Amino acid sequence: MISLTDSAAHKVRQLIDQEDEENLALRVAVRPGGCSGFSYEMFFDSEVTADDLSTEFSGVRVVVDPSSAQLLKGAELDYKDGLEKSGFEINNPNAQKTCGCGSSFS
C-alpha cells in the first residue's frame, strides 16, 4: 500500500477541501500502459468497494484496489513545491525502470 508524506497529505487535503464534497478519498491506481509498461493514476473518488484497501494519512483517506496495491507496496507519494520541481511524485521501490516523464514504470 502506498503512503503519503506530510507534504503530500497537506496538498491533497487542500485539493479535497476545494472540491467541497464530503467523503472524497484519494484513489491511487496502477494501470497497464505508458511507455514503460504501467502508469499511475490518481483521482478523487467517493465510491469505495468492499475489496479496496483503505488507510488514512493526516486526515486524508487513501484507497487502492487489490491489484494496484501489490505494485504500490512500499511506495510513497510526495509533493514538492519548488523552483526546479513542483507537483506530486511517486517513489516506488518496485519500479525497475521509469520513463523520463515519471508517470510510467515497469
Residue with cell 507537483: 87
pLDDT at 5: 97
Q: Residue 2: which of 44, 40, 50 has the closest Cα?
A: 40
Domain definitions of the chain by residue range: 3-96
pLDDT at 83: 80
Tens digit of pLDDT for each residue in 13-71? 999 999 988 889 999 999 887 565 788 899 999 999 999 999 999 999 999 999 999 99
The answer to whether the CB of 75 falls within 8 A of the CB of 92 is yes
> Is the model's pTM score more than 0.95?
no
- Topology (CATH) of 3-96: Hypothetical Protein Aq_1857; Chain: A; (2.60.300)
